[in-house]
Amino acid sequence: MVVVLIAANFIVVFPLHDPPGVMIRRHGTILVATDFSAGAARALERATRLPLADPAKLVLVHVLPADAKSSAQADAEELLAQTLTTVPRSPDLEISSEVASGTPFEAIIKHARSLEADLVVMGRHGKRRIHDLLIGSTVHRTVRYGDTPVLVVNAEVTGPYRRPVIALELDDVSRRIVELGLSVLPSEIGEVDVVHANELPATELQLIASTGFEDDHDVGARRFLEDVLHSTGVAGSPWRITIRRADARIAILNETVSYQADLVVLGTHGRSGLAHVAAGSVAEFVLGEARCDVLVTRPTRFTFAMP
């Protein structure tokens, strides 16, 4: 089961099969950042389990401090070579590794851009939540300043994603986020649940109750979601749509728990990602609190000048 969660209140269900003439886009170039930790090992394993394009390229990158000694370069290259021996080989997957230098998040972003990578895959460091290490962390800064989608791997890899949650809002970015979610899912995934969560002020709730506007609002939201999902070329039945009045952050986390989700897909707000969003933004909250993997993208590409 796939769960597509929107920032307001819905559950939509349809079989996820590639319809005639429609191809779900698969990633062709993936950058995997590694610090040789257990979390990085999980990220690499997840990257190799994704449904990739044919052919595809995977680049494993380790970043050294700018003032690292020459011996550190040789040690890093040796560790990268050892790490690559654990990757299953395929004639359709080109695998390589690189040692970079500088500030980790800057080097990762620069390499992703130079490779024109479709996806950056990173592991969460240590056993603590990202929330405990969020400010200043490499993961957080890569999401904040980068313009490539970032998959943060938190959980042990047991197989392909089967129970994802795709968090959306009722805006023109929704289709891109849905397509991003579809790109990392196997072709045969079952059905899709869509939830849209929106917490209205008490005054508006009173107005809805007195005017009967709620029915019209629900119909409009349902139509919007159906249009978005049909526009991707993936359609079917049955559809189950549920509208809830709830804080989107809590609704998303509750959904991941109740559905035992293994992935959350969502977008940041604004051209500059998390950097210029209020501290309580949905993306930042979910990135810090979710225990499953998190796939984050921004609405549009932009240029960040490295300091």
Q: How many CB atoms lie within 10 A of CB 214?
A: 15
| Nearest to 266, CA basis, from 210, 82, 255 | 255
Angle between helices 104-115 and 138-145 (to 10 degrees): 40
Distance CA 197, CA 292 (A): 20
- Give the 3-state secondary structure of residue 30: strand
The parts of the chain modelled with pLDDT lower than 50 are: 3-22, 126-136, 205, 237-239, 270-280, 302-304, 307
Residue-level pLDDT at 182: 86
DSSP state, residue 275: G
Phi, psi of 15 (to 5 degrees): -65, 135
Neighbours of 1 (CB within 10 A): 15
Task: Please give the span between the terminal C-alpha atoms of the chain, in angstroms, as a whole number.
Answer: 43
Structure pTM? 0.82
pLDDT tens, 127-182? 444 444 444 488 888 988 888 999 999 999 999 998 888 887 778 888 888 889 88
Taking CA atoms, 156 is separated from 38, 39, 50, 140, 266, in Å, by 10, 9, 14, 21, 21
CATH of domain 2-297: 3.40.50.12370
